[in-house]
Amino acid sequence: MNFIVDGYNLAFKIEQSSQKLKDGQTDLVIKQVVHFVKSGIKNKRSKIIIVFDGQANTRPAKSSYSGISLLFSKRPQTADDIIRDFIRKTKNIGKWTVVSSDNEILFTAQDHGAQTMKVTEFIQMRNKLLPGQRKLSGNFNKQNPQNIDVEYWRQLFNSGNDS
């Protein structure tokens, strides 16, 4: 099985990476996400693509890490646009698993015959493969993803408005 992963969706669910993103340490976050994904996929023959929203300061010197390809969107394109294009253009999409928290991306993938996995499911799969390592901290399974997203944006923009 091959994987295409929405990089920042995953980063925001990993507590250590989420805080570093807020601190502007995107290069370090990208490396953490790559390591996290690599440690969660044991089949060395799997193709792995991680897609990030590109910004001027988010392009590391390397575009691949040990068989993991990194793609960065260029404005006005988003990572979601790249993933949707990949889904629509890949001939054997049934051999791919799309990992994202974005329901629109997951529905598009399913409509085209790809396997899908929510980011939280990928994290759970990875944690089961690595029982001796430190687990992802947080209580992501018991929260409503839409509420998590709303709370994130409120914090990002320092909005006190509850509407």
Sorted by where each starts, the structural domains of the chain and their CATH numbers stand as: 2-156 (3.40.50)
If pLDDT is split at 50, 70 and 90, which confidence band does 74 have?
confident
> Distances in Å between the alpha carbon of 76 and those of 4, 81, 127?
21, 10, 35
Cα separation of 2 and 89, whole Å? 15
If pLDDT is split at 50, 70 and 90, which confidence band does 146 have?
very low
Cα separation of 86 and 48, whole Å? 13
In the prediction, which pLDDT does 141 show?
Answer: 41
Residues in the chain, total: 163
Cα separation of 145 and 151, whole Å? 10
pLDDT in tens, 36-69: 898 888 777 889 999 998 765 555 545 556 778 9
